[in-house]
A and B are shown apart, each in its own frame.
Chain A
Amino acid sequence: MRRPCVITAAIFALALFVGACSKSSEREPGDFERMRIQQRDEPYAPGELFANNERLRQPPAGTVSRESESDTGAIGSGMQAGRMTAVVPLSITPERLALGQRKYTVFCAVCHGAGGFGGSIVAVNMGAPRPPSLRSAAMAAKAPGYFFVIATHGIGRMPGYAPQLTVEERWAVVAYIEQLQRSTTTPPEARADSLRALGIRRIDSVLASEQRR
């Protein structure tokens, strides 16, 4: 009586064992592989869907960004009635200045220095023409719109930062540059106690003393 039970159990166990040993490629879709490999596109992964094997799409040729180029107002273009905007067209709040400082430290301080004196390790290594100080009298006389236009489109060897910074972030950076120019010393916030800031500040102070001479 008991023997058929044992044989059935043995066959069942064997089937389970053989099933578990099958290769993952032979498994039916619907088990774990469906979760592990999903039918979605990873950013930057290659894919066969488009001709150039890219999954991130480029905008079609001639695409005009609604955010900046087509916006001819002061906020989008930095220009007003054919001239550089004389005031930052967004309200300047402490939060916006903090945002500007953060973005300035990432994208501008690399060349212009944490204090804006135009000194950094990159600036020293890049050779002439060196990035200008943002705190010279000539620069302080420029309208905020001037800095916005350059941050957007670049000038000389400086690239435009429109892909990296949104319109609001660029204006925040301009507002922070205005604050830098008004301050007589490097603001304490710019003297972050990291080694990075220390290095930049040292070169900044060297350049500042050069300018004083």
Chain B
Amino acid sequence: MAAPFPRWVNTLARATLIAAVCTLVGVPVALMAWVRTPNATRRFQPVAQPIAFDHRIHVTGQHIDCQYCHFSVERAASAGIPPSSTCVPCHSTVWMNSSALSLVRQSVATGTPLHWNRVNALPGFVYFNHAIHVNKGIKCENCHGRVERMARVYQAAPLTMSWCVDCHRTVRAPTNCTTCHR
């Protein structure tokens, strides 16, 4: 009686088994690697804003501290987006009639806030608090990068969970689930 399968089916069977194991291991590993790449975390991608606010001019050029505008960073979860009136004392004389500032003038005149686009986004189950980090000595640039050198601000850190936890372990900050997740 002739063999039901030719001999090369043995090789095919082994190759299939190896391919199956490689796929089962490789696909999750590839996906885990993918979510950490800048493409997936949207790292280093400048975010377009309604006003071409340039941090280089204000921080590097004019030596204005981060906290001058983001002043709730030491006492609130959010560092704070400055109210439009923050621009007024200086820009009532400097660049007063510039069209770049027309949205600011409109905002101040009508009392409606400017709609800035979020650069550093966290999912809803992450409860981040700026105050505790700043008061424990973490610098702005540790997470936000050198904003004073950015024409348009981009997300400088990967903002993945492993990135958070690595630092928490290094500085012996709490690593309970409920430290960040509610």
Give A contacts to B, CB under 8 Å. 35-38, 40, 43-44, 46, 52, 54, 105-107, 109-110, 120-122, 125-127, 157-159, 163-164, 196, 199-200
Contact = CB atoms under 8 A, between A and B. Distances in A.
A54 B113 contact: yes
B83 to A, nearest CB: 8
A36 B124 contact: yes
Interface in B97-155: 112-113, 115-116, 123-125
B63 A199 contact: yes
Given A37-B124, A43-B77, A121 B67 contact: no
A135 B85 CA distance: 29
A126 B71 CA distance: 22
B90 A105 contact: no
Nearest to B121: A42
A36 B115 CA distance: 23
Given A35-B124, A110-B65, A122-B90, 6 more contacts: A37-B124, A38-B125, A106-B67, A107-B68, A121-B63, A126-B93
Interface of B: 61-65, 67-68, 71, 77-78, 81, 83, 85, 88-90, 92-94, 112-113, 115-116, 123-125
B162 to A, nearest CB: 18
B93 A127 contact: yes
A36 B125 contact: yes
Closest 8 CB pairs of A and B: A38-B124, A35-B125, A164-B71, A106-B65, A43-B78, A106-B67, A159-B89, A196-B63
B124 A122 contact: no
Given A43-B78, A125-B94, A110 B64 contact: yes
Contacts of A35: 123-125
A126 B92 CA distance: 10
